[in-house]
Chains A and B, each alone.
Chain A
Amino acid sequence: SQQGEEDPQALSIQEGENATMNCSYKTSINNLQWYRQNSGRGLVHLILIRSNEREKHSGRLRVTLDTSKKSSSLLITASRAADTASYFCATDPHVQGAQKLVFGQGTRLTINP
């Protein structure tokens, strides 16, 4: 079953602008991760945020987590053409144990030069 749902499904912005993607999930979680996928390639881990954390930064990435609303957001600041990719959130459902990640359907981000 799909736990995470990303919003929007597709996003197109100009280079240099900020991009925000959202993820909602249904059950309580241990942690939430964000991954990037360039077209047709394997996913690459970007950042992890634990259920007891509210915000985390990594370079131009900022992730927030609101467990009361069961949602997370990924902000990419000062976007570049190389950021063009699909972005997925993945949740580690608490009820299913720590060994399983459930991925959303992804947000396709296009950065226009």
Chain B
Amino acid sequence: EAQVTQNPRYLITVTGKKLTVTCSQNMNHEYMSWYRQDPGLGLRQIYYSMNVEVTDKGDVPEGYKVSRKEKRNFPLILESPSPNQTSLYFCASSLFRGGAYEQYFGPGTRLTVT
């Protein structure tokens, strides 16, 4: 089954404790991205990757890192999480079809930083 998976789905952690949220897709998509979703703010892009070893900042990259060593994986790293990073995070991979990137989303990771 074609899908985007994220782990963990739920995470409660403390300020300053490094964490990684994994993202994997089995559709051989080149383009992947990370979003955070907050009430009243909609989805905001954190980072995106056009291909292996090619990453770029989105609208809200501060406090996050990513890597793209393999096509299927795109982990999101929070080196020193803070409470303002409490949010719902989505990974997405994209199929370029008909001149547009149609995005496939993972199920989400709900992160709470205390």
Give me the interface of A with B, judged by CB distance under 8 Å: 1-2, 30-31, 33, 35, 40-45, 48, 50, 88, 90, 92, 98-106
Contacts and interface: CB of A to CB of B under 8 A. Distances in A.
B41 A101 contact: no
B42 A105 contact: yes
B42 A100 contact: no
Contact of B106 (A42, A50, A90, A101): A42
B100 A106 contact: no
- Contact size class for B? 20 to 34
Interface of B: 4, 31, 35, 40-45, 48, 50, 58-59, 88, 90, 92, 96, 98-108, 110
Contact of B107 (A41, A45, A99, A105): A41
Given A42-B90, A99-B50, 19 more contacts: A2-B41, A2-B44, A30-B100, A31-B99, A40-B88, A41-B107, A41-B108, A42-B4, A42-B107, A44-B105, A48-B102, A50-B98, A90-B103, A92-B101, A98-B101, A99-B101, A100-B48, A103-B44, A105-B41
